[in-house]
């Protein structure tokens, strides 16, 4: 705490005299649950004489991962031409050369990452050959990442301490949301984000695909949606491109959770699908503007059934996010047909009931698609009292200015629903200065509730809304700020919740930012600092 207070005092007095932060050397991020230097010594690793040896089960995910990690470790795009020697490189601690790591996958690979996937792993580095072991391919992937971070460049080689690691995630859902409705994001940027997620052990890419401003999803069944709703025909996601993202993510143990948000946030849908949206009225005349989905038009439900059949076929995950946030009632209120419809359904004046009617129909559709799905909804669906299936995940996002999100999480879990928390982690909401302490200090289980309620917290998700973000600034705005959320969701609660937590994380976060920069990603600086990287 002291260090934190000190730093902020210094900041407010004179921005020019911020303390210099020195990064750790070879400390993994997020921090493993258990890590020990079993012997006081280190090994050397020579890239030309090092291999990963798959000794047990194998599969395409593992074969690719082993290749990828050799590249990540030894061919970093911004590796300095001549590497400095680290200070603990003394003759007395030298234990020998590490020429191989056994990769021991104890059970056959699973095909797809999923909500309950096992991600624990062990690492042992003692002498000439070490081991990365797990019962699950997803654990092996996390272990390879940790191992890659233990290596420290020194002179012509790398050093690694004699170390054992035993590690597992605190939460099973560790998400990151990108918004391709406000700005198109090229596939290359989405894939960079997936690589960076893997480097931070995040495991769910929530793809907020479409919004009021654009509809880049290219549907085969309803081609007009993107023909009229996308920014341009070059800025769409085809079935093949979506498949390539899902596959890229799968290879890294990352799930892809698509979101098709309705009934609000749908203006772009209306361009390619007539009668989908509610015409707004002034007196008895249409104004020419549109509001949310018109829930009184029966054909809209057939359309949604067909579209969502296609969507859930393209995305392999069990879950789909159905949105349901921020539904404005004024347009519905102005429309005479809706007034009439509500009267005949005995809900005159109760627009929350109209919303409930729509959502109930939508959930019923999703329950009966050819592929069985679970669903996420934004918290308003719960707040409005809509009846939802018991396996619905309620996504908490509101009340960013105060602590009511904790009460909300308590309410959601008291009702027996599982939840994912995003409120404290709106990374698009930027400000000057060191802004990550608040991300690190927020804990998704810090609400008043029983242990059973706490267990219903599946994890959290960092959101990057896209109004002011496109390919130019996505990576620096996300990283290393999303890394902070990643450690919060992976590492031990004891590590990340104490009064000294941010001060203790600081030098490791500095190293991690330099690591991401070295690996070729434009992760932004956290404070005045220096990374040993080669920029040309
Ligand atoms: C490796 O061990 C040395 C000596 O015990 C220690 O000074 C150094 O910080 C360790 N490095 C890492 C990356 O843990
Ligand atoms: C990891 O290590 C722990 C304790 O050292 C052991 O109980 C566990 O079985 C190990 N798991 C794997 C997958 O090797
Ligand atoms: C209202 O319903 C009538 C009859 O179904 C239809 O012709 C008209 O276009 C509708 N108007 C609006 C505003 O939806
Ligand atoms: C509306 O209320 C009337 C009178 O109470 C009832 O006869 C009718 O069945 C109700 N309609 C609907 C759709 O619930
Ligand atoms: C939902 O209810 C079903 C049947 O009552 C039960 O088997 C299942 O475990 C419940 N799921 C959740 C997530 O509560
Ligand atoms: C939580 O539930 C209580 C009791 O229903 C309610 O008074 C309160 O407003 C709810 N809190 C939030 C943040 O919705
Ligand atoms: C938990 O409840 C106590 C006592 O009612 C209250 O003082 C505290 O602020 C609550 N904490 C949270 C995080 O809501």
Q: With cut-offs at 50, 70 and 90, classify the pLDDT of residue 90.
A: low
| DSSP three-state, residue 316 | coil
Q: With cut-offs at 50, 70 and 90, classify the pLDDT of residue 88.
A: low
Q: What is the pLDDT of residues 97-137, one digit of tens each?
A: 999 999 999 999 999 999 999 999 999 998 888 999 999 99
Cα–Cα nearest to 239, from 252, 228, 226, 255: 226
| DSSP three-state, residue 356 | helix
Point out the catalytic residue in the list 34, 64, 111, 326.
Answer: 326
What's 15's DSSP letter? G
Q: Evaluate: CB of 384 within 6 angstroms of ligand 6.
A: no
When pLDDT is averaged across residues 137-164 and rounded to a whole number, the result is 95
Answer yes or no: is pLDDT of 440 > 70: yes
∠ CA 519-163-124, rounded to 5°:
95
Q: How far is CA 406 from CA 176, 279, 409, 463, in A?
A: 20, 37, 5, 18
The burial of 447, by beta-carbon neighbours within 10 Å (0-12 exposed, 13-18 middle, 19 or more buried), is given as buried
By DSSP bridging, strand 121-125 and strand 157-167 are antiparallel
Alpha-carbon dihedral 18, 19, 20, 25, rounded to 10 degrees: -130
CB atoms within 10 A of CB 226: 25
Return phi, psi of residue 127, to 5°: -135, -140
Which residue, by CA, sits nearest to atom 13 of ligand 5? 391
Cα–Cα nearest to 226, from 189, 180, 258, 280: 180
Q: Evaluate: CB of 407 within 6 angstroms of ligand 6.
A: yes
Q: Give exposure, 10-19, as e/b (b: 16+ Cβ within 10 Å).
A: ebeeeeeeee
Q: Where are the beta strands (DSSP E) in 115-270?
A: 121-125, 129-134, 152-154, 157-167, 173-179, 204-208, 255-262
Q: What is the pLDDT of residues 67-76, one digit of tens each?
A: 999 999 999 9
Q: With cut-offs at 50, 70 and 90, classify the pLDDT of residue 81.
A: confident
Q: With cut-offs at 50, 70 and 90, classify the pLDDT of residue 8.
A: very low
187 Cα–ligand 6 center, Å: 41
Q: Starting from the CA of residue 399, give the closest ligand.
A: 6
Q: Evaluate: CB of 346 within 6 angstroms of ligand 4.
A: yes
277 Cα–ligand 4 center, Å: 27
Cα–Cα nearest to 165, from 207, 111, 125: 125
Q: Evaluate: CB of 33 within 6 angstroms of ligand 2.
A: no
List CB contacts of 450: < 8 A, sequence separation 6 or more.
none
Answer yes or no: is pLDDT of 288 > 80: yes
> What is the atom index within ligand 1 of the atom nearest the CA of 87?
7
Q: With cut-offs at 50, 70 and 90, classify the pLDDT of residue 4.
A: very low
343 Cα–ligand 4 center, Å: 9
407 Cα–ligand 6 center, Å: 7
* pLDDT for position 11: 38
pTM: 0.94
Q: Which helix (H) or strand (E) holds 418?
A: strand 418-421
421 Cα–ligand 7 center, Å: 18
Half-sphere exposure of 220 (CA within 13 A, CB side): 9
Q: What is the pLDDT of residues 11-68, one digit of tens each?
A: 344 445 677 888 999 999 999 999 999 888 899 999 999 999 999 999 999 999 999 9
Which residue, by CA, sits nearest to atom 5 of ligand 6? 411
> What is the atom index within ligand 5 of the atom nearest the CA of 416?
14
Asked if omega into 480 is within 30° of 0 (cis), the reply is yes
More confident residue, 454 or 127: 454
Q: Evaluate: CB of 411 within 6 angstroms of ligand 6.
A: yes
When pLDDT is averaged across residues 243-256 and rounded to a whole number, the result is 98
| DSSP three-state, residue 357 | helix
Q: Evaluate: CB of 124 within 6 angstroms of ligand 2.
A: no
- Tokens 């194998």 correspond to 58
Task: Dig out the tokens for 259 from the structure.
Answer: 């979101």
336 Cα–ligand 3 center, Å: 9
> What is the atom index within ligand 2 of the atom nearest the CA of 106?
13
Q: Evaluate: CB of 424 within 6 angstroms of ligand 1.
A: no
CA distance 308 to 43: 54
Half-sphere exposure of 137 (CA within 13 A, CB side): 22
Does the annotation count 326 as an active-site position?
yes
When pLDDT is averaged across residues 341-350 and rounded to a whole number, the result is 96
- As a whole number, the mean pLDDT across the chain is 94
Q: Which helix (H) or strand (E) holds 334?
A: helix 330-334
* pLDDT for position 3: 40
Q: Evaluate: CB of 40 within 6 angstroms of ligand 1.
A: yes
Q: Which helix (H) or strand (E) holds 457?
A: strand 457-464
* pLDDT for position 128: 85
Cα–Cα nearest to 45, from 142, 150, 165, 132: 150
Task: Dig out the tokens for 45 from the structure.
Answer: 């690793």
Task: Dig out the tokens for 380 from the structure.
Answer: 């308003």
Answer yes or no: is pLDDT of 208 > 80: yes
Provide the percentage of residues in the chain whose pLDDT is more than 70.
Answer: 96
* Residue among 343, 346, 353 whose CB has most ligand 4 atoms within 8 A, to mutate: 346
When pLDDT is averaged across residues 504-515 and rounded to a whole number, the result is 97
* pLDDT for position 5: 38
404 Cα–ligand 6 center, Å: 9
When pLDDT is averaged across residues 239-265 and rounded to a whole number, the result is 98
* pLDDT for position 6: 39
* pLDDT for position 17: 66
Q: What is the pLDDT of residues 29-38, one digit of tens each?
A: 999 999 999 8
* pLDDT for position 20: 83
Task: Dig out the tokens for 102 from the structure.
Answer: 């056994």
* pLDDT for position 154: 87
Q: With cut-offs at 50, 70 and 90, classify the pLDDT of residue 386.
A: confident
When pLDDT is averaged across residues 246-265 and rounded to a whole number, the result is 98
Q: Which helix (H) or strand (E) holds 65?
A: helix 60-74
* pLDDT for position 531: 93
By DSSP bridging, strand 129-134 and strand 121-125 are antiparallel
* pLDDT for position 533: 93
Q: Starting from the CA of residue 409, give the closest ligand.
A: 6
* pLDDT for position 417: 98
Answer yes or no: is pLDDT of 91 > 70: no
Concatenate the DSSP letters of all residues of 372-415 into one string: --EEEEEHHHHHTT----TTPEEEE---TTSSHHHHHHHHHHHT
Q: With cut-offs at 50, 70 and 90, classify the pLDDT of residue 391.
A: confident
CA distance 503 to 505: 6
* pLDDT for position 10: 39
Q: Evaluate: CB of 348 within 6 angstroms of ligand 4.
A: no
Q: Evaluate: CB of 447 within 6 angstroms of ligand 7.
A: yes
């Amino acid at each position: 705490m002291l260090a934190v207070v000190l730093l902020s005092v210094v900041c407010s007095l004179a921005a020019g005299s911020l303390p210099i932060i020195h990064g750790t050397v070879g400390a993994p991020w997020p921090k493993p649950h258990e890590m020990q230097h079993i012997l006081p010594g280190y090994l050397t690793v020579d890239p030309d004489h090092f291999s990963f040896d798959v000794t047990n089960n194998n599969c395409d995910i593992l074969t690719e991962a082993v290749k990828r990690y050799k590249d990540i470790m030894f061919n970093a795009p911004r590796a300095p031409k001549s590497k400095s020697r680290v200070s603990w490189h003394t003759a007395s601690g030298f234990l020998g050369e590490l020429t191989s790591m056994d990769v021991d996958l104890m059970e056959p690979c699973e095909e797809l990452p999923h909500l309950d996937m096992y991600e624990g792993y062990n690492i042992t580095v003692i002498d000439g050959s070490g081991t990365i072991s797990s019962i699950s391919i997803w654990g092996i992937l996390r272990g390879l990442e940790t191992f890659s971070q233990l290596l420290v460049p020194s002179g012509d080689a790398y050093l690694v301490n004699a170390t054992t690691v035993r590690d597992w995630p605190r939460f099973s859902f560790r998400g990151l949301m990108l918004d391709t409705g406000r700005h198109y994001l090229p596939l290359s940027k989405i894939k960079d984000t997936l690589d960076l997620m893997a480097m931070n052990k995040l495991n769910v890419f929530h793809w907020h695909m479409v919004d009021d401003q654009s509809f880049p999803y290219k549907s085969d069944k309803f081609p007009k949606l993107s023909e009229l709703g996308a920014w341009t025909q070059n800025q769409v996601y085809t079935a093949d491109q979506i498949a390539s993202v899902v596959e890229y993510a799968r290879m890294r143990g990352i799930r892809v959770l698509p979101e098709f948000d309705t009934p609000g946030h749908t203006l772009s849908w209306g361009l390619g699908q007539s009668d989908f949206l509610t015409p707004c009225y002034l007196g008895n005349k249409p104004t020419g503007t549109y509001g949310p989905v018109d829930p009184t038009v029966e054909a809209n439900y057939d359309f949604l059934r067909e579209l969502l059949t296609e969507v859930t076929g393209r995305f392999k995950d069990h879950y789909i996010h159905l949105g349901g946030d921020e539904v404005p009632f004024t347009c519905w209120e102005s429309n005479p047909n809706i007034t009439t419809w509500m009267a005949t359904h005995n809900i005159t004046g109760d627009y929350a009931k109209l919303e409930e009617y729509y959502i109930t129909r939508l959930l019923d559709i999703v329950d009966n698609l050819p592929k069985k799905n679970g669903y996420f909804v934004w918290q308003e669906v719960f707040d409005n009292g809509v009846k939802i299936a018991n396996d619905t995940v309620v996504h908490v996002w509101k009340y960013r200015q105060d602590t009511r999100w904790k009460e909300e999480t308590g309410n959601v879990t008291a009702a027996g629903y599982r939840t994912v928390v995003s409120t404290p982690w709106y990374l698009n909401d930027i400000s000057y200065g060191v802004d990550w302490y608040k991300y690190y200090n927020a804990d998704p289980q810090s609400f008043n509730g029983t242990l059973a309620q706490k267990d219903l917290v599946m994890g959290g998700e960092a959101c990057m809304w896209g109004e002011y973000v496109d390919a130019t600034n996505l990576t620096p705005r996300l990283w290393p700020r999303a890394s902070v959320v990643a450690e919060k969701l992976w590492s031990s609660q004891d590590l990340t919740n104490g009064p000294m937590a941010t001060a203790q994380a600081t030098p490791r976060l500095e190293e991690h930012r330099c690591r991401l920069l070295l690996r070729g990603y434009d992760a932004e600086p956290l404070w005045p600092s220096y990374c040993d990287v080669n920029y040309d």
